[in-house]
A and B are shown apart, each in its own frame.
Chain A
Amino acid sequence: MADSPKSSDWLLELGDARGKEDWTGKGIAHAVSGFRLGAEEAAVIGIFGMLLLLVASVPNAESQSVSGSNLFLFVAAVLPVVFVLRLLAAREDRQKTTDLFLMLGMLLLIWEVILGKLDLLDPFLFPSPERVFDVFRVDYRIMLVGMISSFSILLSGYLLGLVVAIPLALFIGWRKRAFDTAYPIAKAVSPIPPTVYLPYAIVLLPTFSSASVFVLFIGAFWPIFVGTVNGVFNIDQRILNSARTLGLKEHVMLSRIVLPAALPSVFSGATIALIMSFVTLTVAEMIAATSGLGWYIEYQHQYANYDKVIAGMILMAACVVIVMWFFDRIQKHALRWQNAGRL
């Protein structure tokens, strides 16, 4: 397989002026421009500098202070470093990164000034960032165990949903008769919040985790199912015709043509399912668990430890961000053909 074009050189020369243009294009301009710190980026650094200065040198109001090492100081110091590293790593997303960190920095600064330094609100309900971040130091072990428990339930339920819903939906979307029967049922049943099945799941299944996995599975199943069926049903007829002219066997047709053609819709269903899964998980844990992120928040809530409640919320948000990041990566890779864009 020679890479060098032989008799075909003339083809490249003659035809497709458009094709050639595609090669040069943008991209290069971005790469060439050097790294300079703009006004907005400087503002972000300035805000974090102010925050650091405040946290390090000005003592908190008595009711809002913590004893021992200050984890928030560490966070306030690490965030600007992360910011600069991100700017260097992903220059295309510069504006996005800057805006994001600007928001984050302002939020932390306002939080620190109003609650930590000025103590303007009831310290019982509104803890300072120092107190909230101190929870991570104190409770990291119980949080870690909770994360493991939450993630194992989340992943098992969600993956089970994927594995069951996608093949079933492919088949049903492909067969008109099955579709006509199943789709109205799916439409009626899918909006029912999955947590209503929880009492039955707890009674019928041996352990709490298996019951939670089941409920998560139900919650994940419907959006994926509906997304996939829709995807199959909306495949461009012309692409299907092109595939038909190849005389494919049915299983090849389903796996190599129908599934990839429906994949964008499968992913939009799977995204909804993932978000649903987080909500379902938290609610399920709040009701019956003895460990996990949702349980932690609910438990601390009952004891009115609001600093711990907020810490739990931050941890949960961080987990969501991390999971969604991985999900996005997978989606971008699987659909790389779709928005491949011109070079």
Chain B
Amino acid sequence: MARLGLKDITVSYGTNGKRTTALHNINLNIEDGDFVSLIGPSGCGKSTLLDLVAGLRTPSSGQVLIDGHEICGPGPDRGMVFQDYSLFPWMSALENVRFAVEHSWARTDKDESLEIANRYLDVVGLSSFRHKYPNTLSGGMRQRLAIARMFAMNPEIFLMDEPFGALDSLNRVFMQDILVRLWSKDAKRKTVLFVTHDVDEAILLSDKVVVMTPTPGKIKEVVKVPFSRPRKRQSLFVSQDYIILRSKLLARFSEEMQKDLEKQEKELITWSI
């Protein structure tokens, strides 16, 4: 049985007169310990899909199953990192992590949660910034903190919504390394659902890449990434297999983008007439 299952999911919103379908007939099974990326152009509903798994949104029809049980609402078994805004600006770095540790599992031992929080701040190299507020940290540091928070909470499933989307390329490389390093360190790897629009990022990090298409959001293809771990950028990025896989994914991706652009263009023309 799959760890995380999406069964016949459809999400639509709006009034009856003009209903928009964000996701249509989504079926996806993710095995325990898999790192799965969702890629696709904007508007393909990848963030919506993540919100569904997080329990922030309920599907119009279909089910989200964890270990065969349907989820109801958000829970501490799933941790989420957003592009930004994961952190609470009124709490210091340490308080942010400790608060999450304390409340997500209703821990009562304050010393223990403080110890956990400090340990994970140390792991991401933020221990000397523990009393700083998020507003005083750089974007990269904030995301490091958000990741530390998620690992400290120790959920079964990691949900990441374009977590490095707002970072510059150097910081992004650096963050990818931290994520993989932390994720691989656990004897029992966590299940990760990772939303991105960066094909290289998806290949580098994932075991499987789910390609989605927009309007309405559908899964077009699930591509296995065959490369063994640990993956080294220098050798991976120049290998034949990588280049083939990358261009294959890019082709899928751009095909959809092309279609989408043409469609938008047509709409524009009909509008202007």
Q: Give the interface of A toward B (CB within 8 A).
A: 1-3, 5-12, 14-19, 22, 236, 238-239, 241-249, 252, 256-257, 260-261, 263, 336-343
Contact = CB atoms under 8 A, between A and B. Distances in A.
Interface in B138-160: 138-141, 144, 153, 159
A6 B122 contact: yes
B6 to A, nearest CB: 18
Contact of B89 (A5, A247, A337): A337
* Most A-side CB within 10 Å, residue of B76, B89, B175: B89
A12 B80 contact: no
A246 B103 contact: yes
Given A238-B84, A245-B74, A337-B134, 11 more contacts: A8-B123, A8-B127, A12-B125, A15-B140, A15-B170, A19-B138, A247-B104, A256-B103, A257-B88, A260-B88, A336-B133
Contacts of B118: 1
B109 interface: no
Top 10 closest pairs, chain A to chain B, by CB: A11-B125, A8-B125, A238-B85, A260-B90, A18-B138, A245-B80, A337-B133, A19-B138, A15-B174, A337-B90
B75 A241 contact: no
A78 B141 CA distance: 50
B136 interface: yes
A224 B239 CA distance: 64
Nearest to A257: B88
Contacts of A14: 174
Contact of A242 (B85, B90, B138): B85
B228 interface: no
Contact of B135 (A236, A252, A337): A337
Interface of B: 51, 54-56, 73-76, 78-80, 82, 84-92, 99-100, 103-104, 115, 118, 122-125, 127-128, 132-141, 144, 153, 159, 170-171, 174-175, 178
A343 B136 contact: yes
Nearest to B178: A11
17 contacts: A8-B123, A8-B127, A18-B140, A239-B88, A241-B54, A242-B85, A244-B55, A245-B54, A245-B80, A245-B159, A246-B76, A246-B103, A249-B103, A261-B88, A337-B134, A337-B135, A343-B136
B80 to A, nearest CB: 4
A11 B75 CA distance: 31
A249 B102 CA distance: 12
Given A1-B118, A19-B137, A340-B135, A245 B56 contact: yes
A99 B144 CA distance: 45
Contact of A246 (B85, B100, B124): B100
Nearest to A15: B174
B124 A11 contact: yes
Given A246-B76, A338-B89, A5 B125 contact: yes
B115 A238 contact: no
Please indicate which of the listed interface residues B118, B134, B135 has the most CB atoms of chain A within 10 Å of its own CB: B135
Given A8-B127, A246-B74, A236 B85 contact: yes
B138 A22 contact: yes
A22 B132 CA distance: 12
A8 B174 CA distance: 13
B79 to A, nearest CB: 7
B101 to A, nearest CB: 10
Nearest to B146: A242
Nearest to B90: A260
A341 B138 contact: no
Contacts of A241: 51, 54, 56, 82
A242 B80 contact: yes
A252 B133 CA distance: 20
Contacts of B104: 246-247
